[in-house]
């Protein structure tokens, strides 16, 4: 396994991050535990969750599964860089969502309890809260850091200007601020190349791409043996929308003698500022199938071919659309 620093921090994480969103809704607790055990065996030390995963309001189903696994001991907590998120609705009352200081405090305490731990390595804001001032957000995060409940802070689904705004105020408060941004990023979805990635590079944030396989479209969606998400109606529509590109992509992967999923992950690992794509396996087979991406080196010519199949926005802003 390869390890890199998460953004400008001294924290070292594996180049693949284990996403746990499927644990509970799609993967049993027993199978989830086996997947987490095997991830550690493979050297994956970066686990990502969120208090809303499990999709039962207020229950934190997925965090509970991860917490019971951590509670088994055997060095699990010591080995894992544990990330979770705050923002989503955890109840029906007015202050049980978003990024008020009150909700951040209560949400963190709830996550710590469910995860059976006394600290969270990376506490991520799941979305921007346009109605909450940054002074309030940073005051709440600073307090959690002083108490030792949170070690690092990250963002998710932020625009480039949100990152700049957050970091400038953090700097004025003599606070480290954000060290990572978790964004939608894959060969099909490259909008973040315009402004989010440049902002992350300027401020020293590591990019943690979510949905690196574009909901399975980049994982060999046209193969007759592919199942799972391919059966979902919206995914079938996406396949038809992008069929021409997917056909060219899967054909090119065959010339590389590499699985489409491995190529898609390897492409992300070659991109500037990317720390660790989030893999969200439902099964053990899906977990092990991602590992060849770490050994797949793409040449400049091969990267150029992939860019031709899946054109990005044309570079960074403003040159991508102006002069």
> What residues are annotated to the active site?
53
Residues 140 and 99: their CA atoms lie apart, in Å, by: 9
Pairing of strands 3-5, 12-14: antiparallel
Beta bridge partners of 278: 17
Question: In Å, how far are 59, 84, 186, 257, 316 from 278, measured between CA atoms?
Answer: 23, 13, 11, 23, 23
Residues 240 and 193: their CA atoms lie apart, in Å, by: 25
Structure tokens at 144: 């959690």
Give the burial string for 82-101 (b: 16+ CB within 10 Å, else e).
Answer: bbbbbbbebeeeeebbbbbb
Residues 35 and 23: their CA atoms lie apart, in Å, by: 10
Question: In Å, how far are 78, 102, 106, 154, 208 from 46, measured between CA atoms?
Answer: 12, 28, 24, 14, 11
Residue 302: is the preceding peptide bond cis (ω within 30°)? Answer: no
Residues 234 and 212: their CA atoms lie apart, in Å, by: 17
């Amino acid at each position: 396994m390869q390890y890199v620093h998460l953004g400008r921090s001294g924290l070292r994480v594996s180049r693949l991050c284990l996403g746990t969103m499927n644990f509970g809704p799609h993967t049993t607790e027993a199978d989830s535990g086996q997947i987490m055990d095997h991830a550690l065996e493979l050297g994956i030390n970066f686990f990502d969750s969120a208090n809303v995963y499990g999709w039962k309001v207020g229950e934190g189903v997925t965090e509970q599964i991860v917490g019971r696994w951590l509670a088994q001991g055997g060095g699990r907590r010591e080995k894992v860089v544990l990330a979770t998120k705050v923002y989503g609705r955890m109840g029906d009352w007015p202050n049980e969502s978003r990024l008020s200081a009150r909700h951040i405090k209560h949400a963190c305490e709830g996550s710590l309890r469910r995860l059976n731990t006394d600290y969270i390595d990376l506490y991520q804001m799941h979305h921007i809260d346009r109605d909450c001032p940054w002074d309030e957000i940073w005051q709440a995060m600073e307090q959690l850091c002083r108490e030792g409940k949170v070690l690092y802070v990250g963002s998710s689904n932020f625009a480039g200007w949100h990152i700049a705004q957050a970091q400038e105020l953090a700097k004025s408060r003599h606070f480290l601020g954000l060290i990572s941004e978790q964004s939608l990023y894959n060969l099909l979805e490259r909008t973040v190349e315009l402004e989010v990635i440049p902002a992350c590079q300027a401020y020293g944030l590591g990019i943690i791409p979510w949905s690196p396989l574009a909901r399975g479209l980049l994982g060999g969606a046209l193969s007759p043996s592919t199942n799972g998400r391919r059966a979902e109606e919206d995914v079938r529509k996406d396949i038809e929308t992008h069929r021409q590109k997917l056909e060219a992509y899967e054909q090119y992967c065959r010339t590389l003698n590499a699985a489409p999923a491995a190529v898609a992950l390897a492409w992300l690992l070659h991109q500037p500022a990317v720390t660790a794509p989030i893999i969200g396996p439902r099964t053990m087979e899906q977990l092990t199938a991602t590992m060849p991406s770490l050994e797949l080196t793409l040449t400049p010519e091969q990267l150029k071919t992939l860019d031709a199949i899946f054109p990005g926005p044309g570079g960074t802003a403003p040159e991508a659309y102006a002069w």
